[in-house]
Structure 1
Amino acid sequence: MSKRNISKVAVLGSGVMGSRIACHFANIGAEVLLLDILPKEGSDRNKIVNDALAAALKSNPSPIYDKRFAKRIKTGNFDDDLSKIKDCDWVIEVIIERLDIKQQLLEKVDKLRKPGTLITTNTSGIPIHAIAEGRSDDFKKHFCGTHFFNPPRYLPLLELIPGPDTDPAVLSFLEEYGSRILGKVTVLCKDTPAFIANRVGVFGIMGLFHLVEEMGLTVEEVDRLTGPVLGRPKSATFRTADVVGLDTLVHVAKGVQANCPNDEQNATFALPGYLQQMVEKNMLGSKTGKGFFFKDRSTPKGDILQLDLKTLEYKPQVKPKFATLDAARKEDDLKKRMTILYTGSDKAGEFYRKSFHGLFAYVSHRIPEITDALYKIDDAMRAGFGWEMGPFELWDAVGVEKALKDLRDSGSGAGMTAAKWVDEMLAAGHSSFYKVEGGKRLYYDIASKSYKPVPRAEGTIVLGELPESSIVWKNSQAVVRDLGDGILCVSWNSKMNTIGAEVIQGLNKA
């Protein structure tokens, strides 16, 4: 890491993201200056920022490791305290998603900051180059996007988005600082609408919103199909939408549809009728108390009801029954489970094939548009959306050639075809997007048409990528590996990582 020191950070904007980003920097020991606008009335000029920070500290899960760390955060307002940024090493803008307002604030920041200060924006979709227009050369050199995912303490993704004038040394520093100090999975993105994770993730959600209508599935059925059994969070699809907020989701979807007219799946980002009606009725999810699910507090146990997408009325949940799900749940190995889901002969199997095909086709066309390297899409989806497998890893699991043939045979609609480079890869004798050779994980590089090592932070060891010869002892639940330099590593794969006789045997052996 370069010698740049980050001891004091200014966070401009104390909303949900700003206050929690401030807490995360306090977690790592930095002094934080958290600023926001003046209230429209009242004598307390810091009421907005103080109330926001107090709400963040009371939230669950907590954004801060220890309540005592909150003392590291000092609050203020833009009118009285913006000049204090001259003492900060990094200024992060986290205000409303309006280009004009961001530019107005950053114009002031440009005049007050000391040369060399890092300036970044947490925008989730406004072009980085547009935000930096009109700023000084030194500002542009030290400016880029740093898109944290909410909640910052718990979701590890940090997307880095350079502008046309960003100094490569700044990006290099932020990549390493994000990984080593902030504990993030840092993914370098191109300056395209919604960047990587939201572009792919919101496409996936919107695709399912349309597929549920096409297949006549219920809200609960889709959440059962797209949760832990698929290696994804328990909140799955519709519950995740409720938590995020339908207004937020719709904002991103509309932004992609408007700003990506040449996207072959542009129509997927259009709102289905029921979703449009929900927004109009203010059924936005958890923030309004009603969304795809509703907690009926009039019942003794506070029953959770699901939304009937045809009538927009709530009804009791009925546990779905799919033979494919029953079979998949018996398999602990995620790759083998994906094959079971993909090849299922019932309605669930049909659902997985349709949703997988749409996802596979879409991500293949996003290269080189949003990134040049396919592993970055997988990294972003695992770290930002909590997927255990990224799209290309999932495609590998079910078989690249098989899925490509199935996609063609399915006669899917316009845009539902894979990019030509996938055919070229297979024609050249490369059957997968990833492979392990010599203890290193390699990915298929589209530009060079060859495999390259997946970059790792210095000192990183991935056990699954070590050669078989590194294993010195194992049983059904524990493995002892020789890492070199006289170091042994014990790992175990017991159910729920419980420590039983075989795990203890492995520890004793080591």
Structure 2
Amino acid sequence: MTGIRKVAVIGAGVMGSGIAAHVANAGVPVLLMDIVPEGAADRNALAKGAVARMLKTQPAAFMSPRAAKLVEACNIEDHLDRLAEVDWIVEVVIERLDAKQALYRRIDAVRKPGTAVSSNTSTIPLDALIEGMPEAFAKDFLITHFFNPPRYMRLLEIVTGPKTDPDLAGAVADFADRRLGKSVVRCKDRPGFIANRLGIFWIQNAIAAADDLGVPVEEADAIMGRPFGIPKTGVFGLVDLVGLDLIPHTTKSLRAALPEGDAFHATYREMPLIATLIAEGYTGRKGKGGFYRLNRQGGQKLKEAIDLKTGVYRPSAKADLPELKGAKGPRAVLDLKGRTGAYAWRVIGPTLAYAAGLVGEASDDVAAIDEAMRLGYNWKWGPFELIDRIGGAYLAERLAKGGTTVPPILAGLQGKTFYRVENGQRQVLQADGTYKTIVRPEGVLRLEDVKLASQPLLKNGSAALWDIGDGVVCFEFTSQANALDEQIMVLLAKTIKLVKAQYKALVVYNEGSNFSVGANLGLALFAANIAAWGEIEKLVSLGQQTYGQLKYAPFPVVSAPSGMALGGGCEILLHSDAVQAHAESYIGLVEAGVGLVPAWGGCKEMLARWQANPTLPKGPMPATAKVFETVSTATVAKSAEEARDLLFLRPADGITMNRDRLLADAKAKALSLVEGYAAPKPATLTLPGPSGALALRMAAEGFANRGIATKHDLVVAGELATVLSGGEADGLDTLDEAAILDLEREGFMRLVRTEATLDRFESVIETGKPVRN
């Protein structure tokens, strides 16, 4: 099979349209097809409507509105012959075998030989799907099970049959990996494959146990969340997120497909409450609510939770479980006395036993099952990693005492663990009792692997420096939430000296959930509370100096963000020679939201970028106005592609779709800059001065008059206007970078002394959001 240059998706429902949107996010043209609605004036109405909805949905399906232009709305009556144009056809129609096979016969009549055809099913076996189809069709057929929403969920389960061409399946998997950013897990042709089979078992078990033990939904989610490395949604919050109506549908399909003796059946029970909720439109967050809802009566927003026994909503209360705070690790939670420990065991014990039973059934690979649950359900640890944390012998003994059959791979551990590190390499246990080294795909470089085989070159409490080979080093933030502090600046300064003396290039990267949420506000608030203004100003100056040294270092610096890169995290990107960003990077200068102005060079760098931008009219005011608009509203790009539009990224900066490939891509970019490298020349800026600042303040007052900006927003906007307009300079003066840095620092220090800004700090620390004062 040649490369995939064009794709068709048949079925413009939520899943199909989401898959089409994500193919377009990869820059690949896609035909989106559906039936012709009866009596429709526009025969492409279903596909066109799907594209229009996706442009409005939140979280956004498209990484940029430009991507939507790559989706062409079609219908299967008039345009089926156009399937001859594409290299991969994805079927996402109703989960009915007869409907799918009828469509396949029509597809086979018009497709090019060798075109990949896949189904997004998670319940119908591949053998059944291709039964009666020509050999040539069976050779080109596979299952590609995406998870919803396709843009954000990294897991893709692929199932092939004995007749599937392995080269074709490999080409689809490679495209999904490199272009769509998916982690591909190969599964056996079994009902539910891996993630849904185990995930739905876990969910059913958790709901039934809460009902049996009288555990309120808030307590259940607290117990089943962070203590076990599961997102804070827990179980009931997760069901609300994915949709209550999907659970009975998937459960019914699995019950029908799984053999009679499968443990899945023992977890099933009729839940009249769920049926009632669905019938009344309580389908989760996409409906009127679910196990939780927001009661908006009287103009208020009161979070409520349902009572599982009565079906009546009541005000939601934070779970009061002090015993959880004292329990160190998942095993300690399982050992807790009373309802908390009992509930934890009722859910986790059978779930881990069921996972162990899937080895050889859903997959031969323990690591694949772990990967499926980490990526399909956002578990921090896969089930076998969790067993290692709990203790295999402990789990097996407790299961046996409770009358549960211990799966062979768990019974045979005999003091072993599922994972071990040998000679600096992570290995995983096989079903035959031997260990296999985990080998990353070509082009994947993980810092966690580097750490297993080496020691840091430099390290302190907030950062570390690692040698990643070929003369390139990686600077890693290690502070909580990767918040930036003095220790990071100190180590970064040391790093610059070391790289200058011994290495070729520097990459700034980490494998946290977020690149950096910005400066450590807790430390700033503490310093302000004891009036240590000199210490705060010292840190501002240190950041300015360090980022300046980074920008003008005699070697290439490449930053590689993923997740949030906010405030100071954004500013380090702005001072790098290049950025290689994960597609899901959310970048912005958000200081105004917490009552500050960017003061580590963010203002000067954005001014320089917009003054050099050819799309803006010449003159001192257009760039100033553009940066003011972005920074005063704390605008955050919702994708790396959007960050290009805002100039947080430049046209030459790279975007990596697969998170696992980000470090390797950043390293390659850094090496590509080494030969003939010269540090950038300092920018000089022409800014409008006091008249420009006045115009910006008047614009901000207009927002305040419309109720959009608060009183303190106007104070912050005033300081920002002064910085971006160049202070007392006029439109005939040119300012160097040092002058803008002085203005940033002075404005920052005036704002940090205000009570309103400190109130915002405190609010962010306590609630995660600044107070609107």
Question: Normalization by structure 2: what TM-score?
Answer: 0.62
User: Is structure 2 residue 466 aligned with structure 1 residue 481?
Assistant: yes
Aligned residue-pair number: 493
Of structures 1 and 2, the one with the larger relative CO (CA 8 A, separation 6+) is 1
Q: 1:134 offset after TM fit, Å?
A: 2.2
**Structure 2: which amino acid aligns with 1:324?**
E
- Matching residue of 1:450: 434
> CA 1:346–1:299 in structure 2 vs 1: closer, same or farther (change >3 Å)?
farther
Deviations 1:126-170 (A, max 9, x none): 111211122222211111000110111101000001123111112
Indicate conservation of the 8 Å contact 1:161/1:190, yes or no. Answer: yes
Is contact 1:490-1:506 (8 Å) kept? no
Shift of 1:292: 1.2
CA RMSD between the two structures: 1.9
Q: Does 1:425 align with 2:424?
A: no
Which residue of 1 is the match for residue 174 of structure 2?
A: 176
2:51 and 2:68 in contact (8 A); partners too: no
Q: CA deviation at 1:403?
A: 2.1
The SS at the match of 1:146 is strand
Q: Is the 8 A contact 1:360 1:418 kept in 2?
A: no
Offset at residue 304 of structure 1 (A): 1.8
1:57: Cα distance to partner? 1.5
Give the Å deviation of 1:295.
2.0
Q: Please say if 1:302 is aligned against 2:301.
A: yes
Task: Give the superposition deviation at 1:124.
Answer: 1.9
Match of 1:311 in 2: 310
2:58 to 50, 57, 60: 60
Q: Structure 1 CA distance, aligned partners of 2:37 and 2:443?
A: 49
Are residues 282 and 300 of structure 1, via their aligned partners in 2, closer, same or farther at CA, if it must alter by over 3 Å?
closer
Counterpart position of 2:350: 358
Is 2:444 aligned against 1:460?
A: yes
Matches within 5 A, 1:378-389: 378-389=370-381
Q: Tell me what 1:332 maps to.
A: none
State the match for 1:216 in structure 2.
214
Indicate the residue corresponding to 1:88 in structure 2: 86
In 2 relative to 1, CA 132–468 (structure 1 residues): closer, same or farther, beyond 3 Å? closer
Describe the shift of the 1:252–1:436 C-alpha distance in structure 2 as closer, same or farther (beyond 3 A).
same
**Runs of 5+ unmatched residues, structure 1:** 329-335
3-state SS of 2:245 partner: helix
1:199 touches 1:256 (CA, 8 Å); kept in 2? yes
Provide the C-alpha distance between the structure 2 equivalents of 1:183 and 1:280, rounded to a whole number of angstroms: 37
Q: 1:245 aligns with which of 243, 248, 251?
A: 243
1:229 Cα deviation after fit: 4.4
Distance 1:350 1:509, change over 3 A: farther
1:404 to partner: Cα distance: 1.9
| 1:454 maps to amino acid | I
Decide whether aligned partners of structure 1 residues 213 and 104 sit closer, same or farther in structure 2, where only a CA change above 3 A counts: same
CA distance in 1, matches of 2:17, 2:272: 35
Q: Deviations over 1:425-473 (max 9, x none)?
A: 31xx5x2101111222111000x32000223111323333334533222
Question: What percent identity do the matched residue pairs reach?
Answer: 37
Distance of 1:310 and 1:358 partners within structure 2: 24
- Matches of 2:101 and 2:452 in 1, distance apart? 52
Q: Which residue of 2 aligns with 1:331?
A: none
User: What are the residue-to-residue correspondences of 1:386-425 with 2, within 5 Å?
Assistant: 386-409=378-401, 411-412=402-403, 416-425=404-413
The offset of 1:64, in angstroms, is 0.9
Gaps of at least 5 residues in structure 2 are: 496-773
What's the offset of the Cα at 1:346?
4.7
SS in 1 for 2:55: helix
Task: Give the AA of the match of 2:113.
Answer: P
Q: Is 1:257–1:270's contact at 8 Å kept on the other side of the alignment? A: no
Q: Is the 8 A contact 2:392 2:413 kept in 1?
A: no
SS of match in other structure, 1:460: coil
SS at match of 2:233: coil
Instruction: Summarize the alignment of residues 223-238 of structure 1 with structure 2, pairs less than 5 Å apart.
Output: 223-238=221-236
Q: CA deviation at 1:277?
A: 4.4
Aligned partner letter, 1:236 = G
AA paired with 1:151?
Answer: P
Deviation per CA, 1:210-251, whole angstroms, max 9, x where unpaired?
110221101111122223443222332112212322221111
Give the 4+ runs in structure 1 shifted more than 4 A: 279-282
Equivalent residue for 1:27? Answer: 25
TM-score (structure 1 length as normaliser): 0.92
C-alpha separation between the residues in 1 aligned to 2:76 and 2:173? 29
Report how far residue 396 of structure 1 moved.
0.6
Conservation of the 8 A alpha-carbon contact between 2:425 and 2:453: no
2:148 to 147, 150, 157: 150
Tell me how far apart the structure 2 counterparts of residues 477 and 403 of structure 1 sit (CA, whole Å). Answer: 36
